[in-house]
Amino acid sequence: MVGKGAKGMLNGAVPSEATKRDQNLKRGNWGNQIEFVLTSVGYAVGLGNVWRFPYLCYRNGGGAFMLPYFIMLIFCGIPLFFMELSFGQFASRGCLGVWKISPMFKACPGGPWTLPPPARCVTLPSPPGVGYGMMVVSTYIGIYYNVVICIAFYYFFSSMTHVLPWAYCNNPWNTPDCAGVLDASNLTNGSRPAALAGNLSHLLNYSLQRTSPSEEYWRLYVLKLSDDIGNFGEVRLPLLGCLGVSWVVVFLCLIRGVKSSGKVVYFTATFPYVVLTILFVRGVTLEGAFTGITYYLTPQWDKILEAKVWGDAASQIFYSLGCAWGGLITMASYNKFHNNCYRDSIIISITNCATSVYAGFVIFSILGFMASHLGVDVSRVADHGPGLAFVAYPEALTLLPVSPLWSLLFFFMLILLGLGTQFCLLETLVTAIVDEVGNEWILQKKTYVTLGVAVAGFLLGIPLTSQAGIYWLLLMDNYAASFSLVVISCIMCVSIMYIYGHRNYFQDIQMMLGFPPPLFFQICWRFVSPAIIFFILVFTVIQYQPITYNHYQYPGWAVAIGFLMALSSVICIPLYALFQLCRTDGDTLLQRLKNATKPSRDWGPALLEHQTGRYAPTLPPSPEDGLEVQPLHPDKAQIPMVGSNGSSRLQDSRI
């Protein structure tokens, strides 16, 4: 197998790169490049494409939201996506280990970390605050994201019946205000159930107090929603059981790391598009679908002047593409060194955003039908946040023939969309821990680390399965995965471009891909992306409004907790910077600052065979250096490396 890979199998940009074996024998690599692309698509295309993007569209002016969304995609999303992929692929480390680029404290002769001879001066690994911030964000998102998946599991199991439980208003949990679309059809046909006698006036007048059976099923039966975020009530045991199922599934799919998850994504990343297409075809054939799609595409340009619209666009790009989560860095770290991550970043980013727009057509075609049936505006037929997927969609599914079958397919699609993202979130945390410890014992026990993180995530998610759980879920979604992502992304750009140096980074990419980054990306990385992110953050803070859920206003102490969650990931950066300055050698503050911002001595390609140019080792490697030496054919002293632009260079492979 190795012999075949050495005969010129292509891998990304460099034809001489072998694809049939792992380059990094210690960490492993993707089985093939399709696994990486599908995993990244599954990571980026998640639940947010279904219930977050359409919700942001109709809240921020329908089609008018497209303008700031695509501006953020072109000038921030795609450049940052490419930066994170190239960052992780070049260093072959997770979101903690990759930050050996800056800043590091050193242990040199005369210092407290001096190593005994004959070992040479080395840098002790310690990730900066940006890496910790990414881990905190991924932890928050991983906790509540799996709760959404567990709700999808609950609906999936509830669909295994002849009649969907949210189809009619004759259930014990329904209120007199309940009025369903199927109930109205029955009344038209003269077959009105006795339980609906008191609802006739609501069906005829479509009053503002009308609630659908799917909404009451969601709020009064599934969640048993309490009246306050502080009133936890009881833990919903069915949701708790589904939460356990979802974590078990995630763990089993990651039991062998990327080797096992890379096989699962062949199904989890492709099947959702089949279901979306089926729902789209059904949706556009419904009466009133054109009204919903028109509302989706018709811009309300006055919304463009609101900073919140631009803030939501930036947050959605970061949320959807997964920028600043650490997942992109982690997934790219398992690529082979010369893989064309520039090509991958374009493909994955466009696929993700096209899926968001496509899902919006599916959503609004159904919302248009519901609005036409009820005689109300499109904006008043859907709930906020996750309720859009668990209220609007379930009610629309009751209109389809053999509705339980369609419901099973739809919620199975939601489960797959969520799992694709959750795989990468869990792998991000596990890889960060394993890479940071880095010894042989933890590499052999990686499965137990994965199990430990999964158990911790399950325990931390239990409060979100209580009667007040949806309040906390939305609080975490609005604060833990919003402001902090913008701040971390901006600091990451500044750190790489201005502290490490843009020329150094451009040279690193050219050494890895065979060509430098295009001029557009160079300009965006250095000027455009950091500036846009900074000004959007300022405008968002100026026009900030406290979070609400339907008509419920969050109390001040809950909002304060939300801000603490947002700051908990950002505060890691200045705290670690101060810690770094105190531990760095230097007689003056300026000298300490210069030493703290220098890259680590072991920053660069992880494998010795890729360490060329300024990364070429000057001394023979020793076991104390921690460098991984790959066995090479003894008679191949130099291997020509040919880039995609036709240039060639010689790589010294002598050990």
Which residue, chain included where needed, has tokens 């054109």? 290
Concatenate the DSSP letters of all residues of 381-416 into one string. Answer: S--STTHIIIIIHHHHHTTSTTHHHHHHHHHHHHHH
SS3 257: coil
CA dist., res. 392 & res. 288, Å (int): 15
CA dist., res. 458 & res. 246, Å (int): 9
Asked if 549 and 471 touch (Cβ cutoff 8 Å), the reply is yes
- Tokens in use for 34? 């399709």
Asked if 292 and 366 touch (Cβ cutoff 8 Å), the reply is yes
Sorted by sequence, the CB contacts under 8 Å of residue 388 that are 6+ apart come out as 50, 51, 54, 55, 363, 382
Helix 33-44 vs helix 403-437: angle between axes, to the nearest 10 degrees?
Answer: 110
Which long-range contacts link 644-649 to residues 24+ away (Cβ below 8 Å)?
644/13, 644/14, 644/340, 644/513, 644/514, 644/515, 645/514, 645/515, 647/514, 647/515, 649/612
Please report, in range form, the residues annotated as the binding site: 42, 44-45, 49, 320, 352, 417
Sorted by sequence, the CB contacts under 8 Å of residue 600 that are 6+ apart come out as 100, 101, 104, 123, 125
Asked if 419 and 250 touch (Cβ cutoff 8 Å), the reply is yes
CA dist., res. 528 & res. 610, Å (int): 32
Sorted by sequence, the CB contacts under 8 Å of residue 241 that are 6+ apart come out as none
By CB atoms closer than 10 A (0-12, 13-18, 19+), residue 81 is buried
Number of neighbours of residue 373 by Cβ within 10 angstroms:
17
Please report, in range form, the residues annotated as the binding site for Na(+): 42, 44-45, 49, 320, 352, 417
> HEC profile for 585-610?
CCCCHHHHHHHHCCCCCCCCCCEHHH
CA dist., res. 559 & res. 564, Å (int): 9
What are the two backbone dihedrals, phi and then psi, of residue 40, each rounded to the nearest 5 degrees?
-65, -40
H or E segment at 493? helix 483-494
Concatenate the DSSP letters of all residues of 280-306 into one string. Answer: HHHHHTSTTHHHHHHHHHSB-GGGGG-
Positive or negative, the CA dihedral 19, 510, 99, 112 is positive
User: What phi-psi label fits residue 274: left (phi over 0), alpha (psi between -120 and 50 degrees) or beta?
Assistant: alpha
What are the two backbone dihedrals, phi and then psi, of residue 104, each rounded to the nearest 5 degrees?
-135, 150
CA distances (Å), origin 476, targets 138, 376, 388, 482, 498:
12, 32, 18, 9, 32
Number of neighbours of residue 146 by Cβ within 10 angstroms:
29
Asked if 157 and 177 touch (Cβ cutoff 8 Å), the reply is no
Positive or negative, the CA dihedral 190, 191, 192, 194 is positive
Pairing of strands 548-549, 648-652: unpaired
Query: Among 451, 524, 558, 584, which residue's Cα sits nearest to residue 232?
Result: 558
What single DSSP character describes residue 163? S
Q: Which residues of 147-183 are buried (b: 16+ CB within 10 A; e: fewer)?
A: bbbbbbbbbbebbeeeebbbbbbebeebeebbbbbbb
